[in-house]
Amino acid sequence: MQNACIDFASALYLGFRHASAELEAWPELTTGAPAILREPPGAAAVARSIAQLAGAEHAAVFPSTLHLFWDLFQHAGGPNDLVVYDDGIYPIMQWGIEMAGLRRGVSRRRFAHHDPGALARLLRDHPCAGRLWIAADGFCPGCGRAAPLAQYAEMARAHGGVLLVEDTQAFGLLGPGGGGSLLAQGIRGADTVMVASLAKAFGAPLCVVAGARERILRLQRQSETRVYASPPSAASLAAAKAACDTNAREGDRLRHRLARRVSHFRACAAAWGVAASSAEYAFPVQRCWLDDRQQARRLYEELARRGVHAVPQQSRCGARTSITFLLRADHSFEDIEYGLTTFTRVLRTCRRLTSGERRPW
């Protein structure tokens, strides 16, 4: 018997739920003091765990990627500095880059998605007289590919710059122990910075930044959001600590369990003739390709009526429209089969309709 609702719209990939009864108790939800004056209890311990997991010298926690990217690019001081970024980056990182341009006059240029050649040409045609940042997502769930970070890192070093990786999708899933895209591609060094929200694989609504000790300490000292915005709550920090602890004990088992569910989804999709995305890794974002946005909207609504919640999606990287299934370690094989068979039936019905037929969906 199937559940009344099967959720394929949640990105809690490892299945962490963090019920209040499972977390360490806290005496107060927030200290009422800005982080610049006093770190909230537990923040330093979470930062140490993340730095160790990411293979970095130091780490810090922020309430969200929006707070972090507001601060991070303010270190770029003026028009001699240059931020070059992948065309498909996460919008919140792009907002931070654009704000640095508006407030500081920092030059910004974009290059074609996952194209080291385009990046090399851009750096040749627009030499940087100041500080250079190369910004990219570690993994693109739209096209199912990891960014060529080793080539980006090499170019950053050649120009005395910094490679900034937004790794929200991959952190907790890829690399040794789930340490992220840089470790997965064997990249370490003081000229790299990793940023990730823990709200996906680790299920904790806060952001971490990891890199060279002095760079992260300087970011903390100069941060505006640590002065004018509230720090992460005790609940968020307790969830992050629980996730780090569980990952140390059981992370590899959970990642293996998740990979089996991704493989099962792909096998079922292939057997039933569903045009679904593939990926270099057993990645839990699985996209079923469609003809257009209108079709995606209709399918999304009809799937929801039948108890299957998925995500209608148009990728930033130019990939086609899709209904996307976000798989989790706590999905059963039966959940996956029901979701895909329901999708297949609805899609076939939708395609049988002609433009002149009137149907409620």
What per-residue confidence (pLDDT) applies to 359?
44
Q: Does 68 share its domain with 197?
A: yes
Considering the domain architecture, whether residues 131 and 196 belong to the same structural domain is answered as: yes
Q: Are residues 297 and 194 in the same domain?
A: no
Q: What is the pLDDT of residue 354?
A: 36
Same domain, 66 and 156: yes
- Domain end among 226, 246, 266: 246
Same domain as 277, residue 219: no
Q: Which ranges in the chain belong to alpha helices (H)?
A: 43-54, 65-72, 91-104, 116-125, 149-158, 181-184, 213-222, 225-228, 234-271, 293-305, 333-352
Same domain, 153 and 124: yes
CATH code assigned at 129: 3.40.640.10
Show which of 205, 222, 246 is a domain's final residue. Answer: 246
Q: Residue 280: its pLDDT value, please?
A: 67
Q: What residues pair up with 84 in beta bridges, in sequence order?
A: 109, 134
Q: Say if strands 162-166 and 132-137 run parallel, antiparallel, or are unpaired.
A: parallel
- Residue 186 is predicted with a pLDDT of 96
Predicted local distance difference test score (pLDDT) of residue 356: 47
Residue 360 lies in a domain: no
Q: Is 171 a member of any domain?
A: yes
Per the domain annotation, does 304 fall within a domain?
yes
CA pair distance 14, 255, nearest whole angstrom: 7
Q: Are residues 31 and 124 in the same domain?
A: yes
Confidence at residue 319, expressed as pLDDT on a 0 to 100 scale: 66
Instruction: Check whether residue 344 and residue 322 sit in a common domain.
Output: yes
Does residue 79 belong to any structural domain of this protein? yes
- State which residues form the domain around 163: 20-246
Amino acid 125: pLDDT? 95
Q: How many Cβ atoms from other residues are within 10 Å of residue 224's Cβ?
A: 12
Q: Where a domain ends, among 246, 262, 286?
A: 246
Domain identity same for 82 and 176 = yes
What is the count of structural domains for the chain?
2
Phi/psi zone of residue 163: left (φ > 0), alpha (ψ -120 to 50 degrees), beta? beta
Q: Are 177 and 44 within 8 A, CB to CB?
A: no
How far is 162 from 191, CA to CA, in rounded Å?
A: 5
User: Is 358 inside any structural domain?
Assistant: no
Q: Residue 1: inside a domain, yes or no?
A: no
Do residues 88 and 140 make contact, with C-beta atoms less than 8 angstroms apart?
yes
Among 345, 268, 269, 333, which residue's Cα sits nearest to residue 302? Answer: 345
Question: What is residue 358's predicted lDDT score, i.e. its pLDDT?
Answer: 44
Does 359 reside within a domain? no
Other beta carbons within 10 angstroms of residue 183's beta carbon come to: 22
pLDDT tens digits for the chain (361 residues)? 454 689 999 999 999 999 999 999 999 999 999 999 999 999 999 999 999 999 999 999 999 999 999 999 887 778 899 999 999 999 999 999 999 999 889 999 999 999 999 999 999 999 998 999 999 999 998 888 999 999 999 999 999 999 999 999 999 999 999 999 999 999 999 999 999 999 999 999 999 999 999 999 999 999 999 999 999 999 999 999 999 999 999 999 999 999 999 999 999 999 999 888 776 678 999 999 888 888 889 999 999 999 999 999 887 776 678 999 999 999 999 999 999 999 999 998 877 653 444 444 3
Whole-model pTM over 0.85: yes
Contact of 40 with 234, CB cutoff 8 Å: yes
**pLDDT at position 314:** 80
According to the model, what pLDDT value does residue 77 have? Answer: 73
Return the pLDDT at 330. 97
pLDDT of residue 352: 63
Domain contains 306: yes
Same domain, 85 and 138: yes
Phi, psi of 62 (to 5 degrees): -135, 160
pLDDT of residue 142: 85
- Does 197 lie in the same domain as 111? yes
Instruction: Please check whether residues 137 and 195 belong to one and the same domain.
Output: yes
326: CATH? 3.90.1150.10
